[in-house]
Structure 1
Amino acid sequence: MDIKIKVGLRIRELRKALGLTQESLAFKADMDKTYLNEVENGKRNVSLVNLQKIILALETTFALFFQEEIDSDRA
């Protein structure tokens, strides 16, 4: 699976777990809702700076953000 899709799916998973809409997450991350939508749908190659904003808005860390992916890749 393409890394852009994997990252987008992980963002969506964590966003929904927090009960956030795309609009509310975009606001917390100080970015445009359309941009966030494109990232979630794997249409954008998110920069590390923007990924950091999203991860902080999701109240997690880079390590935890990628932890699920690492565990499932080893299975």
Structure 2
Amino acid sequence: MRTRIKEYRARHNLTQEDLANLVGVRRETIVFLEKGKYNPSLKLAHDVARALHATIDELFIFDEEENEVVEER
């Protein structure tokens, strides 16, 4: 998963700490989200999107190739 959180955060002139405080998580959570190392709950994704005036689809990009199921023959 990739995210555009950092880009949107910069648009709103927010630090990672600012965003973390807005959504009620630790700064490290925002770091992991931005690096794509943490898959957020639906609630957290919604809260982050709301804080950044964006939609979940605008912020979180799910790579379809990673989610494809390979069929065994």
- Point out the structure with the larger helix share: 1
- Taking only aligned residues, the RMSD between alpha carbons, in angstroms, comes to 1.6
Structure with larger Rg: 2
Structure 1: give runs of 5+ residues left out of the alignment: 70-75
For residues 15 and 43 of structure 2, the distance between their equivalents in structure 1, rounded to whole angstroms, comes to 21
Kindly, what percent of the aligned residue pairs are identical?
32
Aligned residues: 60
Shift of 1:30: 1.3
Q: Which runs of 5+ in 2 are unaligned?
A: 62-73
Moved segments of 4+, more than 6 Å: none
Given the two structures, how large is their TM-score scaled by the length of structure 1?
0.69
TM-score scaled by length of structure 2: 0.70
Which of the two has greater strand per residue? 2
| Corresponding residue to 1:29 among 23, 35, 42 | 23
Return the alpha-carbon distance in structure 1 between the equivalents of residues 56 and 44 of structure 2: 12
